[in-house]
Amino acid sequence: MVFENIVLVAARIGLLLTCRVVALPFLYGQARQASLDPNPGPGDGQGSDNYELLPQPSTSLSAGTVSRLSSLSVSSKGSASSRRVQEATAIFFSFAFEEAAILFVLVLLEAAQFDRNVLRAHWRIDLAIIIACVSVLVPLSICVLLGFRTRELKEFKRSHVFSSGLLFIAWAVLFLKVPIPAALSSEAVSFSTASLVRICVIGTVIIGVLSGSGAISAAIETYEACTKKRKSATQGDVRMAEASFQRTCSDLAARKAQLEQLQKATQTGPQPSFFARMTGSSKNHQDVKALSLEIVGLEALAKSMRDDLAIMRTSAQEAQFNKTVQGRFILLLTRIFGVYCAFRLVLSLLNLTIIGYANTEKPPPDFISLGLTHLVKLFDVDLDVAVWTRQISLGMIGLLILLRIRTILGYLAAVFSSVSASVSTSVLILVLAEIMCVYFLATLIQFRSTLPASITGEGAKGPDAPLLASLPSYQVGLSSLFDGSFLLAGVVTYVHHIFTFQSDPVAFGARD
């Protein structure tokens, strides 16, 4: 028992350190780019020498004004309160990651014949914590940040508390309205188990949507690469684009700081006459309105430039890497992966229309399994091909979701664009924590179909049942939901690609 606890403590510490050292720096970098943070990251200064080659923005201020406003913006963003919010968000995300990932560790330790009583005690506590995080803690934190709508979080006004409360009540109502599949209604006997089933339903839909979108995107990219429909960007194009993007973000930050100063001056200065307030003819009011419109235009320009820059960076890196031997090998694997993604979309369509889900004891047939079975028989290898193929398919789904992280953050940034930059970054990380916890739980449920019955505990009940037996069954009520959301997301992504397709994304403004 002591040995098991030592191993679990070491695993928790390892997961926390991994999240803090590896995952969080990457996610914060992606979130800052998605929220249009003007601060350049390390290595971004390479484009500074090319500033003079780019046209000056039509909205540029004098050098002294830009310097003063930029320093104000940086000092505001670097305030102690803002840093505390980001540090609390980082700790919360690391804790959620550790609690969600430790569930997989417990399943692996159970398969390694560790003491089941110790593992079950940790499993119950961790599962309860994850349910609380997904249903209450993370949504409440997001609602507080969105409700206060300020970087500093110091102005505790009643309106802020009221708006945060309304947002959380709306979330609670929506969460309780999530339908429980009829096949799983017998398992939702208590509030905690019902919450777990609802989380699994949400997670299955999220996994289906993200992996379906990633599958069609990978298939489209493979087709376009093979047909030479996209032109590769050069490193010079990328450097020029980075410099232009940073200038636009700095200009945007300066305008926001100027707008904040004008609004404060309007509140503290002499009030205009009644006629001026009614007609909006006061100079301050006109300046605020004009500056607000300018900020809207700059935000739209910066978002378009950010998306184009991401395409250009990827294109330039791929073109450089594909010239190497390793790159050509990876390119071949990418093409195979694109073909697999197209096959997975067709398989989902067949499952929904022809094959069906009449047999709930095992998943619908996977033609990849059939092909691998005949291939392995040629080498006389004793291997459970069906089990290993389902594990590979589950790993492919995880890879598809990892490939969509940047897109997810971009969508979230568009939703939270009205929130200030530093809090918006924290909100993005918290929403990603919510998605991560839901994804891990839903993946554990899908994991049941890839493991032997001795580990999954199909039909087993009581204190001696395996850990995974406490989770809802994927094949009973969630497999059709996954295939439906997977296919629908693929269709929507393809339609979106048709209407937004651009043959040459090298230069900014190609979308216009």
121-139 pLDDT, tens digit each: 999 999 999 999 999 999 9
SS3 260: helix
Higher confidence at residue 295 or residue 42? 295
Higher confidence at residue 16 or residue 445? 16
Nearest to 480 by CA among 341, 398, 369, 359: 359
Nearest to 258 by CA among 62, 57, 36, 48: 62
- Distance, in Å, from the CA atom of 114 to the CA atom of 229, rounded to the nearest integer, reads 54
Does the pLDDT at position 169 exceed 90? yes
pLDDT (0 to 100) of residue 409: 55
Percentage of the chain surpassing pLDDT 70? 62
pLDDT (0 to 100) of residue 129: 93
Averaged pLDDT for residues 425-447:
81
Dihedral of the alpha carbons of 334, 340, 343, 349, in degrees to the nearest 10: -100
Helix, strand, coil % over all residues of the chain, rounded to 5: 75, 0, 25
**436 burial type by CB count under 10 A (0-12 exposed, 13-18 middle, 19+ buried):** buried
Under 8 Å CB-to-CB from 300, ≥6 apart: which residues? none
- Distance, in Å, from the CA atom of 437 to the CA atom of 369, rounded to the nearest integer, reads 29
- Distance, in Å, from the CA atom of 453 to the CA atom of 466, rounded to the nearest integer, reads 9
DSSP assigned state of 6: H
Higher confidence at residue 266 or residue 310? 310
Averaged pLDDT for residues 211-223:
79
Nearest to 482 by CA among 369, 411, 415, 390: 390
Q: Taking the CA atoms of 405, 407, 411 and 414 in sequence, report the sign of the dihedral they define.
A: positive
pLDDT (0 to 100) of residue 312: 84
CB-CB neighbours of 447 under 10 Å: 21
Specify the length of the chain in residues: 512
- Distance, in Å, from the CA atom of 253 to the CA atom of 77, rounded to the nearest integer, reads 11
